[in-house]
Structure 1
């Protein structure tokens, strides 16, 4: 019987180690019963052998008297006695000694192991419960835990030592004496015995080295081997003990064995238990530190449906687990991206795509997206810590990030930052344009305008994560470094945007005439590639052009607007397609769904439609603009895009869930407007969207993606609208 226990598992005291111990204990119990049986059988065999020897001796005497045989028979007789005498010494005596002494010592060691194990669990719980504000309790709990851990390790090594290995020696040595005359067999047996002695000495030496390692080890932090291994053969990339707070009313803490496997976070109490899944898909979760509770070393894994509070045994282990979860999230996104790329290659064919699939994939994925974004000034380093070659981005801010800062941004929540990989994810053309029109330089001019003035230090690569996270929260959540504009500066900026809008309105190149829209009130004066806003919107700009240059009291005041605010800046910046001004307005507190009550309750998104820019609409939608918010005429962004014939914007709004069945105050839906305007492309898009919606409803919730042909056609329309909008101007 050979007991083998992995030394690393022994040190970690993992459920796998506990399961091995239980298996060995069961084997020892079974061995004990079999040995008892064997002892009884050997006694019976020896007694029967003695009786056989007596009968055999009598039989041989009879033969000797009859045939007067030679001494040869005497050798047989003596060999028989030797055989049973050796059997009695080698089997009966040795087995009885093993059962009475060695197994008894094994059971006593088991009792010590169970006792010390319970003491260790109690010390761990006491250390975990020590409040951070009572230092003497923390030190006392830590010292008790250190002593208990060291004692536990020594007991474990003694417990798993091969106590039954010498049994082979007990059986083999008498056999060697008994069959010394059998040279071929004895030569082989001697080699085995020599190897057994060497192996036993080596195992004894290894055990001494392990005991020495335990004596030298620092147990103030039980930092067992704990690292992230994405290529692990078992599929488990990370595992270890953590305290988990229960979701019941008592909020009790239980120690469980956690592991990250198959893009999931799971835990189990015993090795043979079925794992309990905490997070189904790591791509949908985030992880963050928790410093606002009494317990130390806590962190939280948050998913869209629930959150799980956990506690590590030390700060080092907490950081290791947080890094492991963050790396697992990144790996999950990479794996999903690779699968999506393979599926798209299988699906792509000339019959389902009007564009060449290979150039599109090359321009929207991997190195293509990275090169385009990195070409913007300031994007070659991380926006928040200046780490070289960032591979991540925040698509609603338009900045590039390193892996550490991207994890911190993800923990802020999507209402602050939406993180995407530059190399692993698919990038739509309008998103790439958004990233190219903003960039780290533009955003840092807004969000770090007063950083040097306030004396705040910007993090550098290699700084502790806590410092980087504190800086990012101060920058984007608290907006501590933003320079707030004065009323005069804000007024001047709005007036300038109005003038730019007016110049854009009247300098656009004319296009072929469109069929008349259904309502003359909304019809543009002249067709433009970007669309024209209604002329009545320009009261502000007209008044601005006739103002005196000086700031005297005789200055002509605007009839509208009556007051200035960041929302008004966002409103006009959306029309003039100025993403830097839009980002600045949002940073200054503008509401993305701000309503201009003096202009038919229009929103910045409706003004972006009027301005004709697809990337402006994308920027507002990435910052949580409502795609169904209506103006005073009952028209949402989809209505306005249909009236102006902006096919790319129609595609975008339909993909973002715009309600194509909504009616304005004249009971006109986008489809009826497109039919009256004889715009075949938009009619096709709206009808496809309607069919796809009906198909999803009929097939139930298990096929929520809709028709693949519909998805391919929408992708082609979006690509064409972004890269070559003239192809969509068909009448």
Structure 2
């Protein structure tokens, strides 16, 4: 039996039901116009009485049923809104709203079922009525026009066949009517006293829709208004739409990246929240039973999504680099970038990283790359809301990890950063939030990283003025010793009368940590400045406590990431310039110190890769002068301007050519060629071709894991 409008959809009052009603109502209106046209034709008087009865009786009943349905539908919507808006602490209003909603819903369902019955009966009956009228019309013409008897007698067999078909249609229509009335009666006898229809979810649904129904959604605007929308879970996504014909709006693109929880801290009842790394969505069901059903459906869909993606992830992991051991392995496979479980396993091996840095939830799968910590999915969403100037969030399983970033994560970790950002938590008597306490988490994380309330403001290393003087004197003495060990030609190159040239034969690269080290010196520019020009810096002497910018400056040269993080937590300017040492920056100090990871840490925390000292030299200049190939590769990837010239008019490429450093020349020329190619083809903002990316990946991998392979700088170079 085919029904124009389905009774089950009527009970759901779904957008599909409303769309079907709209289609049927338009069809009936069109039918009425056509029948009216026939009635006005004078030649159709023989069938006028029958069609008028159909129009006046059956169509009138349809219109009356439609008016009643529209009226009770509006009353139900008003009752739903009133029921949703009532506050939980006003019990008498809650009971009154619930009773009104129950009565209104029951009335709506009765009238809606009657309306659907009227529609289906009308749709079934109209075929037989119109055909019956047309057959009567033919017989009338046969009797009236005797002169056309011969013509119409030829239509006799056809008319008899139509009569037989009519008899069958009448019988079928009567049968369909009885079946629909029986179904109507059966449904009518069901218990509708409950405020819900029984909604079930089915993760294996043929149409891909796990669950669907109406929910109130809180808008993200300033007024926080609530709107009723038709939600559905389908294809591992949570979507909603206002009308059936509207394109669905995606709330959560991938259910694997979200969590769902009850919300009892707002006035409206039956609320729950769906949280993703980028946003959260507050929803409200019509009852507690429906809320539980939706939460269970979302949770089940999340588990299903993980199972469906599991096989794909395993295949990707098998195809990825087989090196999952220590950071110093010598693997030279073409798959240079780490992704998925390999990055997760390596980062979680660091002390404290096996649980969320902020709430302690086990097995975190997100990370803040500039802080070097691991996070659960809920805390990662809060970190994203702080902005990238406070925290840059990435997935340990879904995102691709460059070797510099992965090594940075392994140099820090939750224990190290919590010793800085939670130094005074116990003294202040503050307890860390537990998993699931979103509001407490938001307040705690904001206080921890934005306001820095728990940082020990007196923890920066301090030393008395006399000790500071000794440090400065020792710096000058070490500088004199380092120059005295050079040959005459090297001393000339280190003197102020010559251009800024250094003996790079003393540069060494440590194969165990990937750091490129210099001869013993603590001064940022001791290779470039004569001792007579160095003064006792007032920055060292004006206070018992070190300036945070100065601590960052020193720690950057010393390759001490915990001290650098401590300085930033105390408010150090990552681009602080030391006016006593040619306005060198912490990033330039990191170049002189020779640590690739230190440079990456500063860059991820907002260091300007193009900030230059008084000699017009930026980090790329200094890395080129010192022959630090890994740093040159890193700066080029991070947007360093290789066309900038120093006070002598030299750019990094000309310096590398003079120094005969083949690796750096190759990188600079390749980057310049790639830049020109992108400009000519209009590919602004694009990374470049695959060859360029492959070469830079190779250099990045070697700089992080096999730095000794980049130690090709000729010690007997007669230039720079």
Q: TM tier, shorter chain?
A: 0.5 to 0.7
Distance 1:621 1:238 in 2: 48
- Aligned counterparts of 2:678 and 2:213: Cα–Cα separation in 1: 39
2:163 corresponds to: none
Query: Does residue 20 of structure 2 align to residue 20 of structure 1?
Result: yes
> Which deviates further from its counterpart, 99-108 or 674-683?
99-108
Aligned to 1:440: 414
Which of 565, 568, 580 is residue 583 of structure 1 equivalent to?
565
8 Å Cα contact 1:382/1:390 also seen in 2: yes
Corresponding position: 1:159 with 2:140: no
Secondary structure at 2:660 match in 1: coil
| Selected match of 1:527 from 507, 513, 529 | 507
Secondary structure class of the residue paired with 1:455: coil
TM-fit CA distance, 1:155? 2.1
2:458 to 485, 491, 516: 485
Change (3 A) 1:140 1:630: farther
Q: Distance in 1 between matches of 2:194 and 2:490?
A: 85
Give the Cα–Cα distance (whole angstroms) in 2 for the partners of residues 453 and 636 of structure 1. Answer: 43
Contact 1:531 1:644 in 2 (8 A): no
If asked which structure has higher relative contact order (CA below 8 Å, sep 6+), I would say: 2
Equivalent residues of 2:623, 2:631 under 8 A apart: yes
Give the total of aligned pairs: 617
- Please, which of 410, 425, 439 is the counterpart of residue 466 of structure 1? 439
TM-score by length of 2: 0.67
Match of 1:678 in 2: 660
Partners of 1:226 and 1:238 within 8 A in 2: no
Query: Which string of whole-angstrom CA distances, capped at 9 and with x for unpartnered residues, describes residues 423-477 of structure 1?
Result: 111111121211111111112222222222222222223x332222222222222
In 1, are the aligned partners of 2:407 and 2:704 still within 8 Å (CA)? no
Is the 1:391–1:400 contact (alpha carbons within 8 Å) kept by the matching residues of 2?
Answer: yes
Over aligned residues, Cα RMSD in angstroms? 6.1
Q: Spell out, residue by residue over 1:112-168, the C-alpha distance to the aligned partner (whole angstroms, 9 max, x if none).
A: 3333444566677889999x9x998x9979966983686257425632533355576
How far apart are the structure 1 equivalents of 2:582 and 2:549? 15
Deviations 1:545-565, CA, capped at 9 Å, x for gaps: xxxxxxxxxxx9989454422
Stretch deviating more after TM superposition (254-263 or 560-569) = 254-263
Equivalent in the alignment of 1:377: 351
Query: C-alpha distance in 1, partners of 2:250/2:97?
Result: 33
Distance in 2 between residues matched to 1:475 and 1:578, nearest whole Å: 22
Question: Which residue is 1:455 aligned to?
Answer: 429
Q: Using a 3 Å threshold, how does the CA distance of structure 1 residues 251 and 375 change in structure 2: closer, same or farther? A: closer
CA pair 414-403 structure 1, distance change in 2 beyond 3 A: same
- Equivalent residue for 1:272? 245
- Give how far 1:355 is off: 7.8
Hey, what does 1:619 align to over in structure 2? Answer: 601
2:29 alignment counterpart: 29
Gapped regions of structure 1 (runs ≥ 5): 49-91, 176-185, 347-353, 541-555
Alignment of 1:237-248 (within 5 A): 242=217
Q: Distance in 2 between matches of 1:670 and 1:427?
A: 28
Kindly state the Cα deviation for residue 683 of structure 1 after the two structures are TM-superposed: 1.0
Q: Does 1:697 align with 2:679?
A: yes
Aligned mates of 1:410, 1:318 — CA distance in 2: 28
In the alignment, what sits opposite 1:546? none
Q: Does 1:217 align with 2:213?
A: no
Report the CA distance shift for 1:294/1:404 in structure 2 as closer, same or farther (over 3 A): closer
Alignment of 1:97-112 (within 5 A): 100-112=56-68
Structure 1 pair 358–523 and aligned structure 2 pair: CA distance change class (3 A): closer
Question: Alpha-carbon deviations, 1:69-127, whole Å to 9, x = none?
Answer: xxxxxxxxxxxxxxxxxxxxxxx98x987755554333223223333444566677889
Q: Does 1:727 find its partner at 2:709?
A: yes
State the secondary structure of the residue aligned to 1:454: coil
Work out the CA distance in 2 between the residues paired with 1:619 and 1:534.
23
| 1:205 and 2:173 correspond | no
Segment of structure 1 superposing worse, 515-524 or 444-453: 515-524
Alignment of structure 1 residues 59-138 onto 2, 5 Å: 100-118=56-74
Task: After TM superposition, list the pairs within 5 Å mapping 1:160-179 onto structure 2.
Answer: 160=113, 161-165=116-120
Distance of 2:627 and 2:267 partners within structure 1: 59
Maintained 8 Å contact 2:76/2:108: no
Q: Scaled by the length of structure 1, what TM-score is found?
A: 0.66
- The CA deviation string for residues 198-222 of structure 1, in whole angstroms up to 9 with x for no partner, is 675345323443xx34x32279xxx
Alpha-carbon contact 2:507-2:517 (below 8 Å) kept: yes
SS in 2 for 1:163: helix
Change (3 A) 1:190 1:403: same
1:537 pairs, out of 523, 544, 552, with 523
Structure 1 residues 118, 163: CA separation in 2 closer, same or farther (over 3 Å shift)?
A: closer
* SS at structure 2 position matched to 1:691: helix
Structure 2 CA distance for aligned equivalents of residues 690 and 663 of structure 1: 15
* Contact 1:116-1:148 at 8 Å conserved across structures: no
Distance 1:164 1:125 in 2: 29
Change beyond 3 A, Cα 1:257–1:724: same
Change over 3 Å in CA distance of 1:116–1:653 after alignment to 2: farther
